[in-house]
Amino acid sequence: INLMKLKKKDVLALINKTSRGIALPDQIVSEIVDKTDGVPLFIEELSKEVIESGLVVEQEGRYILSGMKKELSIPATLRDSLTSRLDRLGSAKETAQLGAVIGREFPRDLLKAILPIDDDLLEAELAKLVDAELLYKSAVDARRYIFKHALIQDAAYESILKKTRHLLHEQIARTLPELTPQIEDSQPELLAYHYTAAGQPAKAIPLWLKAGQLAFAKSTNNEAVACFTKGLQLLVALPETPQVLQQELMFQLNLGMTLIAIKGYTDVDVEKAFMRAREICNLFGESPQLFPVLWGLWAFNLVRREFDQARQLGDELMHIAEQEDDDDLLLEAHITVGLNLLYSRGEFESARRHIEKAVSLYTRDKHEAHVAVYLQDPGVVALAHLCWLQWLTGDVDDALDTQEKLEALAQELGHPYSYAYSLIWTEVLHYFRLAPQQAQQAADRVLVIARQNIFPNWIADGEMVRGWALARQGRAEEGIELLKHGMAMWHAIGARLWLTQALGLLADALNENGRVDEALSTVNEALESVQKVKETYYESELWRLKGEILLKQSDANLAKAEECFLNAKKVAARQKAKIFELRATMQLVKIWRRRNNDQATHELESILNRITQGQGTDEVRTARDVLHDLKGKV
């Protein structure tokens, strides 16, 4: 919140309040106004400094100068003012200094354990600090005290010799576990901070790692990054011994996973962390951390659409898992290979076999801990992609059942990132189904959780699908703008996976709202991208969409549109994407039935015979009605 400086009338009012309504000499007021520059805390502190320093005395209901004007010396900076006030507190200054070393807020019991004074004197000194309005008692716990402002704490802290500060921090770090035995498990960052300030990195480093891991487990990811970063800063200053390198490996691995959550899979700092971790693994030869490190690099490359690298890393992960004969590793490896086959090759049936294997290996109680290593629950990831693959390959009813299991698992886990992940695949499943209302509902839920937890990749994705859904429901301008914003955000964080699909979303939204030329340009861009980067999983739909746009543009485009629908059908048949093939066939039937009723009947019957589920869905029911009509005309 940007706070403006106080205007002069408000400065004068604050001075008057601080002096309890007793007027200060005009020249004093003028100097306070000039030196404080409208900053409220500075105004308060300089006003108190004047009164407490003896520069003025109260006489007949107002303050007058106690000496000649030349003796008046108001400190030029707030730090000087605060230091001067502390100096006049006598022995209470030492209490304030120790409190400042402990932190902005500190418990009385810790002061008592360290200061060599009796209870009555400690109470008196704390009361003096409260009366001087340097400290407040906590409203929650009267045994805890809080510095009125961070600058007051800073002034007290900076007034201590550096060597003395180190000793105090060490003493605090040793005393805290005596007062609170569980503190290393509940607040390791507090001990880490004091050991760091005491100049003892060997004791601080493992505590920073533990603190970061605890924050990551609670999904307080910015705090986790701060802890991992502080630990790494300490490690950089140490010689590269095997122990130090092993510690750095753990920090880099944990930092990389946490950065995915708050910056997205493809941020340069994510790659930097995992690349450094891999370098360290190579120095050690075989390392237990190599598998999650390679997983992190695989995720980075997949979402960057570096498919060759992603496939190589996926194969490497599978090799390690099979060599170790470890079901936990095999679970993650089958997911990586399955996703590679889905996105870069469009081999839906092969991808589905790997994902089904992952689902069979998953047990919630056993694998729930994977989120602490891989950021996302593997059961959620596997079920999310299984429902896609089931739907794409024609098992529509199974897909909807799997989607329900997915959401139930995600809700039970209560892990924000995994829950957002489940909703992402749910919203896109509804988009595949061309169900804008359900897609919007899922996207709305995605955006709530993604914005609360600052997951930029899921914010971008949620905006894209919500934008499409709004455009499909008659809110064209708003929807298309939101869709474009989501695409720009997705691109800005370095993500490339799904962009061909996003272009398809945009082309469909434009086409539905009469912006046909823009729609055609957009779908052509998507198809060019498919050819360039081989992101083929959505290719069939793009060809079908292009055909529909061409027909909407002009009846003269009939031949070109037919060629597009044939391409869509060919790609879908190759990929075993039965629902996409049905859609392409339905478009071809509209053309063929005008000139070759038999061909239309044969092709539509062929694809419908291969779809055994989803008989109650609009698409399949409509297709069967058309087939019945075609047969009636034979």
Output the pLDDT for position 76.
64
> Could you tell me which residue, 329 or 91, shows the higher pLDDT?
329
- Which of 357-361, 367-371, 409-413, 418-422 has the lowest average pLDDT? 367-371
Q: Where are the alpha helices (DSSP H) in 534-577?
A: 539-553, 558-575
Length of the chain: 634
pLDDT (mean) for 411-425: 94
Q: DSSP of 373-424, one letter per residue?
A: HHSS-HHHHHHHHHHHHHHHTT-HHHHHHHHHHHHHHHHHHT-HHHHHHHHH
Output the pLDDT for position 75.
63
Q: How far is CA 118 from the centre of its chain?
A: 49
Query: Which residues lie below 8 Å from residue 540, measured CB to CB, with a gap of 6+?
Result: 568, 569, 571, 572, 575, 577, 580, 581, 584
Tokens standing for 335? 């997911």
The mean pLDDT value of the chain amounts to 92
pLDDT (mean) for 410-431: 94
Output the pLDDT for position 30.
87
Sign, Cα dihedral of 340, 579, 461, 403: negative
Confidence of residue 385 (pLDDT cuts 50, 70, 90): very high
Q: Is it the case that residue 73 has pLDDT exceeding 60? A: no
Rounded Cα distance, 301 and 275, in Å: 12
pLDDT (mean) for 617-633: 89
CB 327 within 8 A of CB 361: yes
- Which of 21-35, 157-171, 463-477 has the lowest average pLDDT? 21-35
Rounded Cα distance, 354 and 370, in Å: 19
How many Cβ atoms sit within 10 Å of the Cβ of residue 309? 15
Tokens standing for 130? 């409260």
Residue 136's SS3 state is strand
- Which of 74-83, 148-157, 402-411 has the lowest average pLDDT? 74-83
Bridge pairing between strands 56-59 and 62-65: antiparallel
Output the pLDDT for position 71.
47
493-520 pLDDT, tens digit each = 999 999 999 999 999 999 999 999 999 9
Tokens 């409208």 — which residue?
38
Output the pLDDT for position 70.
44
* Closest to 546 measured CA to CA, from 533, 532, 557, 534: 557
Rounded Cα distance, 486 and 480, in Å: 10
Output the pLDDT for position 597.
73
Q: Where are the alpha helices (DSSP H) in 19-91?
A: 26-36, 40-52, 78-87
Confidence of residue 156 (pLDDT cuts 50, 70, 90): very high
Q: Is it the case that residue 74 has pLDDT exceeding 80? A: no
Half-sphere exposure of 336 (CA within 13 A, CB side): 31
Q: How far is CA 45 from the centre of its chain?
A: 40
The burial class, CB within 10 Å (0-12 / 13-18 / 19+), for 78 is buried
Tokens standing for 178? 């005596």
Amino acid residing at 460: A
Output the pLDDT for position 67.
64
224-281 pLDDT, tens digit each = 999 999 999 999 989 999 999 999 999 999 999 999 999 999 999 999 999 999 999 9
50-65 pLDDT, tens digit each = 888 778 888 878 888 7
Rounded Cα distance, 244 and 163, in Å: 26
* Closest to 248 measured CA to CA, from 208, 189, 214, 198: 208
pTM of the model: 0.83
Output the pLDDT for position 630.
87
578-604 pLDDT, tens digit each = 999 999 999 999 998 877 778 889 999
Output the pLDDT for position 296.
97
